[in-house]
Amino acid sequence: MVVVGASAAGVAVVETLRREGFDGPISLIGAELELPYDRPPLSKRMLSGQWTAERTVLRPRATVEGWNTDLRLATRAVRVDAAARRVILDDGDELAYGDLVIATGVRPRLLPGLPQVPGVHVLRTLADAVALRDALTDGPRLVVVGAGFLGAEAAAVACELGADVTLVSDLEAPLADVLGPELAGMLLDEHGRRGVRVETGVRADEVLVADGRASGVRLVDGRILPADEILVAIGAVPETGWLDGSGVPVGNGVFCDATCSAAPGVWAAGDVASWEHPGLGERIRLEHRTNAGEQGMAVARNLLAARAGRPATPFAPVPYVWSDQYDLTIQIYGRPRPGDALRIVEGSTAERSLVALHGRDGRVRAATGINRPRQTRAARALVARAAPWETGSAPEHGEREGVPA
Amino acid sequence: MRITIDEDRCCAAGQCVLAAPDVFDQRDDDGIVILLDADPGPDQHAAVRDAAAACPAAAIMVEE
Ligand SMILES: Cc1cc2nc3c(=O)[nH]c(=O)nc-3n(C[C@H](O)[C@H](O)[C@H](O)COP(=O)(O)OP(=O)(O)OC[C@H]3O[C@@H](n4cnc5c(N)ncnc54)[C@H](O)[C@@H]3O)c2cc1C
Ligand code: SF4
């Protein structure tokens, strides 16, 4: 058994395989140097300096060792021969597999022609977070290009650390495509109130360089934002290049069926996996931390079922993502889309605490909570069963959370 | 089974409550995990292990 990618999804696969009693050999291949660590803190308490790097480990070393795997860190899989069922590593080693799990995640998308000079940052790895944190120590001018979860979180932390922050959003407000105009507007106000300048409805064109380091960002409208440090946070692309020519189907991610299988004996989990979500009736790929864990568990169980000749189970989670910005905790169940109807069912934007439902095609499709974790979780049930939009504004009496639709 | 939680890591996701509602709950104000039963019976063990694995903050530790 070979698992490629030693992060949230890969760890969940291995942990579940062992927990389900699989005691055969497992090779866990990870390109990074560190023991598996967690990424969400990298734009939150690790970036702010409240946490040290050690705090981000996913599992204590003893637990990792207890899995008894052939763990190869700082090692990259460079090729797969799916017909011969072999993985080729960058040190020349070849590993035969019965089952291969692809958990290689995503890497940051870059601006075209982005210069590789000091002062230009992305934020995906522990090393990225350390570099950005170190760059924020003496109140620099920081331009954050991209106001998705990552950019908005980093802007919030940088601002709290005393940086002079400009956040560039190609939408009318940070996360407007996910949250809708009303809630994104609240977020826009919050960033403004804290002292972050937000340039909305405009894209960055180019990173400017002077004396060998980043000096600013030119926007497509010609304006120039001077900067000492620049964070490019414009999304991510699946790490599938090493699968080219392998016979494993890839497009926007590894293309899997509803059970997360991509080819005989090949599975994918986490940010890299695109699969047919049976409940939603469409192919999706999620870059969410909880999904990496849940999908890793599902793949491990399906893989063992297939080996035992039992049917695999379709993977049909309720997507969940959260984001911390300043003292706001934003939690989203389901998949909101631009143009969804929005109804605030508890609290209000003025209170900075609320639960809102997103409706589409007459059904509740998603729920967003701000600073109301418990109540937001209760609204998850409405998303899970796609409650009717008109009547389904409150959990039904006695409804138990977590029961799938 | 012995469960410990690290409140400082918890990010109020509530995945633990979904997996094992008899063992975990969340505080009303900030959603931080509450351990209802640090030593649950065998009928809860599978659910607790699911909760620990599903927790996106690695905030739940389980010892046999
Ligand atoms: C800064 C930051 C903040 C985030 N915050 C949140 C949040 O608040 N909430 C949320 O829900 N999600 C958040 N996320 C997303 C979450 O971290 C991801 O969904 C999660 O890490 C996905 O796990 P994964 O194992 O699928 O992929 P990754 O974590 O990307 O891991 C893939 C691993 O595979 C390795 N790899 C790649 N190619 C190869 C190869 N060829 N051979 C060997 N190894 C390889 C990589 O080096 C990496 O270690 C955040 C992400 C970042 C970067
Ligand atoms: S799943 Fe983890 S992070 Fe979420 S509430 Fe439970 S302990 Fe906290």
CATH number at residue A333: 3.30.390.30
The C-alpha of B18 sits at a distance from chain A's nearest C-alpha, in angstroms, of 5
Name the pTM for this structure: 0.95
Question: With a cut of 70, which residues of chain A have pLDDT below it?
Answer: 392-405
Q: Which of A189, A150, A193 is nearest to A323 (CA)?
A: A150
Asked whether residue A401 is domain-assigned, the answer is no
Is residue A393 assigned to a domain? Answer: no
Does the beta carbon of A190 lie under 8 angstroms from any beta carbon of chain B? no
**Residue B13: pLDDT band with limits 50, 70, 90:** confident
Which of A256, A272, A307 finishes a domain? Answer: A307
Domain-ending residue, one of A278, A307, A336: A307
Q: Is residue A10 part of a domain?
A: yes
Count of domains observed in chain A = 3
In a shared domain, residues A340 and A296: no
Note whether A61 and A128 are same-domain residues: no
Give pLDDT, residue A400: 43
Give the DSSP letter of residue A355: E
Give A207's strand partners: A217
E strands, chain B, are: 2-5, 24-26, 33-35, 60-63
Q: Check residue A398 and give its pLDDT.
A: 42
Q: Could you tell me if residue A389 is inside a domain?
A: no
Taking only the tens place, the pLDDT of each residue in A139-186 is 999 999 999 999 999 999 999 999 999 999 999 999 999 999 999 999
Same domain assignment for residues A18 and A69: yes
Question: Is position A394 within any domain?
Answer: no
Q: Pick B2-63's CATH classification: 1.10.10.10, 1.10.3720.10, 1.20.1070.10, 3.30.70.20.
A: 3.30.70.20
User: Which residue is closest in CA terms to ligand 1's atom 30?
Assistant: A105
Instruction: Provide the domain limits for residue A302.
Output: 2-107+237-307
Domain coordinates in residue numbering, chain B: 2-63
Question: pLDDT class for B37, splitting at 50, 70, 90?
Answer: very high
Q: Does residue A336 contact residue A178 with C-beta atoms inside 8 Å?
A: yes
Q: Which residues line ligand 1 (CB under 6 A)?
A: A 4-10, 29-32, 39-40, 42-43, 76-77, 103-106, 123-124, 150, 239, 242, 270-271, 287-290, 292, 321-323
Residues sharing a CB contact under 8 Å with residue B41, sequence separation 6 or more, in sequence order: none
The reply to whether A208 and A256 lie within a common domain is: no
- A-chain residues near B6 (CB < 8 A): none
> Checking DSSP bridges between strand A77-81 and strand A86-89, what pairing results, if any?
antiparallel
B10 within ligand 2 shell (Cβ under 6 A)? yes
Q: Which of A209, A234, A259 is the last residue of a domain?
A: A234
Complex prediction ipTM: 0.92
Candidate from B12, B21, B58 with C-beta closest to A59 = B58
Q: Are A300 and A377 within one domain?
A: no
Nearest to A4 by CA among A235, A236, A239, A291: A239
| Same domain, yes or no: A164 and A139 | yes
Tell me if A372 is assigned to some domain.
Answer: yes
CATH of the domain at A200: 3.50.50.60
Q: What is the pLDDT of residue A392?
A: 62
What residues 335-374 of chain A have any CB closer than 8 A to a CB of chain B?
Answer: 372-374
A139/A63 same-domain check? no
- Nearest-by-Cβ selection for A322 from B9, B11, B28: B11
Q: Is B16 helix (H, G, I), strand (E, B) or coil?
A: helix
